């Protein structure tokens, strides 16, 4: 890569945003896998009632983290300048025009994040929904599942919107660099 190449300088923000989406998504999926698989490793398994209390705390904690993430993304969105809807709508298309393979990879990773979180939530709540005590099973079905489902929906929406915003901001920076280059070519 030649740093003096104007095309690479113009495309750099979009390429950086795509890489950032892919890396953040992979880290989230790996973190979700650690949360799912950690308690299933025999050496890490806690005995008796401690395991049950930890499972309850984990399910509640993950729900709170997902809600906090979605609120944080919304807060950041309010603080930053608003991105026009047409820029958000064309964000992935503009990224595909600049770097099709990386855009496809980032889009696939961005799509797998909600799936991984949904599977993790399902695997976390499944033992509670199969509890031998019908009262606990019913309490989790009536009081536990709705907040978890709402947290997943809000976090998924926030994640996908944050990805589009990141690409839209990068595409705007790319256009600004393009205009700056043609305002004074060769500098």
Give the H/E segment covering residue 181. helix 145-183
When the pLDDT of each residue in the chain is averaged and rounded to a whole number, the result is 85
- 0.75 exceeded by the pTM? yes
Q: Which two tokens stand for residue 181?
A: 């280059």
The pLDDT score that the predictor gives to residue 3 is 61
The pLDDT score that the predictor gives to residue 2 is 62
* Cα angle value 116/120/123 (rounded, 5°): 140
Helices assigned H by DSSP within 90-144: 91-98, 100-129, 134-139
Q: Which two tokens stand for residue 98?
A: 């600049």
CB atoms within 10 A of CB 165: 20
Q: Which two tokens stand for residue 157?
A: 């929406």
Mean pLDDT, residues 44-68: 74
pLDDT band at 123 (very low <50, low <70, confident <90, very high): confident
DSSP letters, 129-140, are: HT-SSHHHHHHI
* Cα angle value 151/148/69 (rounded, 5°): 30
């Amino acid at each position: 890569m030649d740093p003096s190449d104007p095309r690479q300088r113009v495309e750099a923000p979009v390429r950086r945003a795509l890489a950032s989406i892919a890396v953040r998504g992979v880290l989230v999926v790996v973190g979700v896998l650690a949360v799912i698989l950690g308690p299933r490793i025999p050496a890490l398994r806690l005995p008796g009632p401690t395991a049950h209390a930890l499972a309850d705390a984990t399910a509640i904690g993950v729900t709170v983290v997902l809600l906090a993430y979605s609120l944080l993304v919304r807060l950041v969105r309010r603080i930053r300048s608003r991105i026009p809807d047409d820029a958000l709508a064309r964000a992935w298309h503009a990224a595909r025009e600049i770097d099709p393979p990386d855009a496809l990879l980032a889009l696939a990773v961005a799509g797998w994040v909600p799936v991984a979180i949904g599977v993790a939530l399902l695997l976390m709540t499944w033992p509670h929904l199969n509890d031998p005590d019908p009262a606990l099973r019913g309490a989790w079905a009536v009081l536990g599942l709705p907040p978890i489902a709402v947290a997943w929906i809000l976090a998924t929406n926030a994640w996908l919107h944050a990805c589009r915003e990141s690409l839209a901001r990068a595409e705007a920076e790319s256009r600004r660099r393009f205009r700056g280059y043609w305002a004074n070519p060769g500098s």
